[in-house]
Structure 1
Amino acid sequence: MTNMDNDRIVEFPALKDAQGKLDAKRKSLADIFAEAGPDYDMSKVKSVSGDTTAKVAFIGQLNAEIDECKGKVDELLVVARAAGAAKAAEQVESGAQDVPDEPRTKGQRSFGELFMASQAIKGYKPGSGMGPQAQLDIDLHQLLKADFLTSTGWAPETIRTGRVEMFPTRPAPHIVDFIPQTTTTMASVVYMEETTFTNAAVEKAEATAYPEAALALTERSSSVRKVAVFLPVSDEQFEDEPRARAYVENRLPFMLRQRLDSQILNGNGTAPNLLGTANVSGIQTQAKGTDPVPDALYKAMRKIRDDGFAEPSVVFLTPANWEPVRLLRTADGQYIWGHPSMPGPVTIWGVPVVETTAAPSTSAILGDYANFSELAVRRGIDVQVSNSHSDYFVNGKLAVRADVRCALVHYRPKAFAQVTGIS
């Protein structure tokens, strides 16, 4: 098992054994691709018997075994983290360590529930002045005296279907869904990073001097940033069409989450931007070069394991960059990742793949987001409604605004990587 270096994970033999089996199967698959060469010529593969069809089938079986082993490792990691948390709780009760930060409260109400229950909506009252009313006494006989045609009679009634076709834009899954979320009451998330670790431990003879080790900590911080949007809405829209409210409730938070996706991967860190993974100083880098995409991704994963001592939890790349992986074929034309009539893999080397246009167009981003990243929410999505903006009061319009305040933290830069030159 790779050393997570996490004081809330308890290592035990079953986890170490499962990680060893996963690493061995990954190496077996890598060795087969190395034998096949850049053209994926199955005739060069000597470690697997049979013709090309048999070898490709073996690759498919091995890939499925990798997925199964990866799932087992993930399950055991959950148990290990739970055991670590229990151990930490015991230490807190005994006074051995400080009380950990509270996790995000479960069962929080949805944005729609908060929006409709907020004082911003309940307290809003349109102008109380009513326009003059009048009753028109029309002689229907005189009206219908002309030929009773559509132009002088009733126009056909047309009722909408109720369907609203949304503008084509990046859909779920959202990248933010793969980032652990906590809460904070501060303007910044401040933590300590061990920046010096010199292990001088060595075997010594009796009565000889002990070697001196070195440890040093550095304070790190990530500032809370705000992502915001507002939408002009007329009084009549909310008063006359109930579905308009539901439409706004859906689209405004969608916009915020979509922007957060981009910031998590690409934010440059200059206020008011978050610092996205691609711009975190010290992350691993791997140039694709002449390697196939699977090989380049594997090398990046190895760097994360060898130097970051972490296990990648997800790979983010664009659909265009996943396409050549899905369409990889052997020298005689057989698809490596399965026939087109069959569902393709959603993993690479056992690590889940998320296709998203939020990823950089020429690179892939991956890392152990599950253990070494955090989205600390200072304030969840907040919605306010007002007619005091500009000339909205005299024009009968509302300004509906929504925002969220949060900080993004990458605790261990070497637990993340970027594969460049993919396109």
Structure 2
Amino acid sequence: MTTDTLEFPALKEAQGKLDAKRKSLADLLAEAGPDYDMTKVKSIQGDTHAKVAEIAKMNAEIDEAKAAVTNLVTLHKAAQNSRDDSGSREGGADSDMDTRGRKGFGQLVMGSEAIKGYKAGSGSGPVARIDVGLKTLFETGAGWDPEDLRTGRVEMYPTRPAPRVIDAFPQTTTTMSTVLYMEETTFTNNAAETSEGAAYGEAQLALTERSSEVRKVAVFLPVTDEQFEDEPRARSYVENRLPFMLKQRLDLQLLTGNGTSPNLRGTENVSGINTQALGVDPLADALYKAMRAVRETGFAEPSHVFIRPSKWEQVRLARTADGIYIWGHPSMPGPMTIWGVPVVETTAVTSTKAVLGDYTNFSEVSVRRGIDIQISNSHGSFFIEGKLAIRADVRCAAIHYRPTAFAVVTGL
């Protein structure tokens, strides 16, 4: 949590209540030990069922307290933004990437100059540029030859859904090839009580310019002339799958990109983030320690935890020594939060790690432009083969403004 946020008394009080509830639950689980032996818990009375019920109640109270903090943060930011004509980045407002009111990609393709101007035997076909917003959601379609006797269903290839990660990053736009910003790298506060006539303590401040390069994520799809001419429903397939491929890859880059051109730099590879080894701790404990590091060293409040489903099950299936599920009975929907922080299950994160941080306040995807589509029959021998080349790409930069506002748990 930032210093200026703590100046909002109601928010400071709500955050204090949340921290106290988290500590109470952590202390209770520490009593039970790594085997969750409820007989060791002396701070609350009753049998194992009663104690697990109390844990569930405490977890629900943490979620409610976290929601209250989130609402107050939103209110505080709205008040700040109303006074700030320049529009602070820290507000984390998403740019409108939905391009509402625009035609679908299939309609744009078929109405483009590339399609209208393409005539057999006329030589190289024209090129059309179509800009599609990055966060546009597309209907799932199907790719077929002209239909004879079959249903309209197409079973999609099993693959990681998208987007999941990008939704955690606030989005802005840029007109530059590199996003530059200033980071305060020295803050020496020598403010102190001073006697009359004595020298004042000297403070030190220093700023360092940081940069994040705009990178391109791209894909290309060959399509025959007949595909679009004979089967209009093929449009919805392309409308869905090309943007899906780009956003799926972008999800992966935002967490695991190594930063070496042409890669983005994902959270896992940001220099200076907090690291917490799992060691002999239960996973829930290791995640709590990583969150504590974010609060103590980054003075931030984690907004998301990214973890693989195979690792999250360690939390969901945790049981007491006598077999009672701590995080809820299997017949009940399990909490998708841990210590009040939302959990995103995704295979985009490295299999041996969990990544978390204050993405709301200290991360950003700065978009140079949305998804750009170009169509031509000039690729290779496509002209004489009656094919079209459809290429799509997006250009953006991934920014982590405050490295210590993020953490990774290793050794999962």
TM-score over 0.5 for the pair = yes
Matched residue, 1:417: 407
Aligned with residue 265 of structure 1, among 243, 246, 255: 255
Matched, 1:213 2:209: no
Q: How far off is 1:113 after superposition? A: 2.7
Is the Cα–Cα contact under 8 Å of residues 120 and 383 in structure 1 kept in the other structure? no
What's the secondary structure of 1:67's corresponding residue? helix
Listed as ranges, the matches of 1:145-156 within 5 Å are none
**Structure 1 residue identity aligned to 2:64:** E
Q: How far off is 1:122 after superposition? A: 3.9
Identity %: 66
Relative to structure 1, the CA distance from residue 339 to residue 255 in structure 2 (aligned partners, 3 Å threshold; closer, same or farther) is same
Listed as ranges, the matches of 1:83-162 within 5 Å are 83-89=79-85, 104-105=95-96, 108-109=99-100, 113=104, 116-117=107-108, 121-124=112-115, 125-128=117-120, 159-162=149-152
Distance 1:345 1:368 in 2: 20
Q: How far off is 1:118 after superposition? A: 6.0
Matched, 1:248 2:238: yes
Distance 2:334 2:385 in 1: 54
Relative to structure 1, the CA distance from residue 171 to residue 101 in structure 2 (aligned partners, 3 Å threshold; closer, same or farther) is closer
Relative to structure 1, the CA distance from residue 175 to residue 110 in structure 2 (aligned partners, 3 Å threshold; closer, same or farther) is farther
Distance 1:10 1:336 in 2: 33
Aligned residue-pair number: 386
The answer to which of 36-45 and 169-178 deviates more is 169-178
Q: TM-score, normalised by structure 1?
A: 0.87
Q: How far off is 1:213 after superposition? A: 0.7
Relative to structure 1, the CA distance from residue 65 to residue 273 in structure 2 (aligned partners, 3 Å threshold; closer, same or farther) is same
Distance 1:264 1:256 in 2: 12
**Structure 2 residue identity aligned to 1:123:** A
Relative to structure 1, the CA distance from residue 180 to residue 47 in structure 2 (aligned partners, 3 Å threshold; closer, same or farther) is same
The answer to which of 112-121 and 173-182 deviates more is 112-121
Aligned with residue 323 of structure 1, among 282, 307, 313: 313
Is the Cα–Cα contact under 8 Å of residues 366 and 417 in structure 1 kept in the other structure? yes
Aligned with residue 49 of structure 1, among 16, 23, 45: 45
Is the Cα–Cα contact under 8 Å of residues 220 and 389 in structure 2 kept in the other structure? yes
**Structure 1 residue identity aligned to 2:95:** R
Aligned with residue 61 of structure 1, among 50, 57, 60: 57
Matched residue, 1:136: none
Q: TM-score, normalised by structure 2?
A: 0.89
Distance 2:82 2:290 in 1: 33
State the structure with more CA Rg.
Answer: 1
What's the secondary structure of 1:123's corresponding residue? helix
Structure 1 unaligned residues grouped into runs of 5+:
131-156
Distance 2:277 2:101 in 1: 42
Matched residue, 2:192: 202
RMSD, aligned CA: 2.3
Relative to structure 1, the CA distance from residue 17 to residue 301 in structure 2 (aligned partners, 3 Å threshold; closer, same or farther) is same
- CA deviation profile, 1:168-227 (whole Å, cap 9, x unmatched): 000145211111000000011100000000000000000110111100000000010000
Q: How far off is 1:104 after superposition? A: 2.2
Q: How far off is 1:334 after superposition? A: 0.4
**Structure 2 residue identity aligned to 1:51:** D
Matched residue, 2:374: 384
Relative to structure 1, the CA distance from residue 245 to residue 114 in structure 2 (aligned partners, 3 Å threshold; closer, same or farther) is closer
Distance 1:356 1:119 in 2: 35
Distance 1:166 1:107 in 2: 24
Is the Cα–Cα contact under 8 Å of residues 299 and 405 in structure 2 kept in the other structure? yes
Distance 1:278 1:129 in 2: 52
Is the Cα–Cα contact under 8 Å of residues 294 and 406 in structure 2 kept in the other structure? yes
Is the Cα–Cα contact under 8 Å of residues 174 and 261 in structure 1 kept in the other structure? yes
Q: How far off is 1:101 after superposition? A: 11
What's the secondary structure of 1:202's corresponding residue? coil
**Structure 1 residue identity aligned to 2:75:** V
Matched residue, 2:76: 80
Relative to structure 1, the CA distance from residue 222 to residue 336 in structure 2 (aligned partners, 3 Å threshold; closer, same or farther) is same
Is the Cα–Cα contact under 8 Å of residues 274 and 407 in structure 2 kept in the other structure? yes
**Structure 2 residue identity aligned to 1:81:** K
**Structure 1 residue identity aligned to 2:20:** A
Q: How far off is 1:335 after superposition? A: 0.3
Matched, 1:300 2:299: no
Structure 2 unaligned residues grouped into runs of 5+:
123-146
Is the Cα–Cα contact under 8 Å of residues 11 and 80 in structure 1 kept in the other structure? no
Relative to structure 1, the CA distance from residue 311 to residue 387 in structure 2 (aligned partners, 3 Å threshold; closer, same or farther) is same
Distance 2:93 2:287 in 1: 35
After superposing on structure 2, the runs of 4+ consecutive aligned residues of structure 1 that deviate more than 4 Å are: 100-103
Matched, 1:26 2:22: yes
**Structure 1 residue identity aligned to 2:347:** T
Q: How far off is 1:109 after superposition? A: 3.6
Is the Cα–Cα contact under 8 Å of residues 92 and 171 in structure 2 kept in the other structure? no
